[in-house]
Amino acid sequence: MAFARLGRSTVACMLAAVLSACASSGNNFSSSGVSQLVASETTFDQAKNLLHGDPVIVYPQSDGTSMARWAYKTTVSTDAIYFNRELWLLFGPDGRFMRVLKSENVPLSKPGEDAVSGSTGDMH
């Protein structure tokens, strides 16, 4: 019986150590809504609702467009295991979605469907 308690205590201590080494940054968001974005139709507010989160930052451009960046990173045991997601969307002067500028670890479409309008490469 004492051995069983020692095992549970050890596991509890290990779990506490792992959890205390967790860190996250950015705003968590749902990538499942990306496939529902419709170019020239989806508004910025609708995009936030579809992604279930606010962008980390929005960069207004001189031509009236804006680039919005959704990003979330979780790290367990600093630099040992990490998960990073990032999505850059371009919105027109009217506040409507134009295209995906960049994505990292974010599926842009469901299997068998065309990808959301835009590219996944570097931003212009």
Which residue type occupies 7?
A: G
Residue 15 has pLDDT above 90, yes or no: no
pLDDT higher at 11 or 86: 86
- To the question of pTM greater than 0.85 for the whole model, the response is no
Domain boundaries, the chain: 21-104
DSSP state for residue 58 in the 8-state scheme: E
Q: Who's near 114: CB < 8 A, 6+ residues apart?
A: none
Lowest mean pLDDT among 16-20, 52-56, 116-120: 116-120
**Partner residues linked to 100 by β-bridges:** 89, 118
Site of tokens 């506040």: 95
d(CA 112, CA 104): 20
Structure tokens at 50: 């579809």
pLDDT in tens, 58-100: 999 999 999 999 998 887 765 566 678 999 999 999 999 999 9
d(CA 45, CA 51): 10
CB-based contact 25:73 (threshold 8 Å): yes
> Phi and psi for 16 in degrees, rounded to 5?
-65, -40
Give the model's confidence band at 25: pLDDT under 50 very low, under 70 low, under 90 confident, else very high. confident
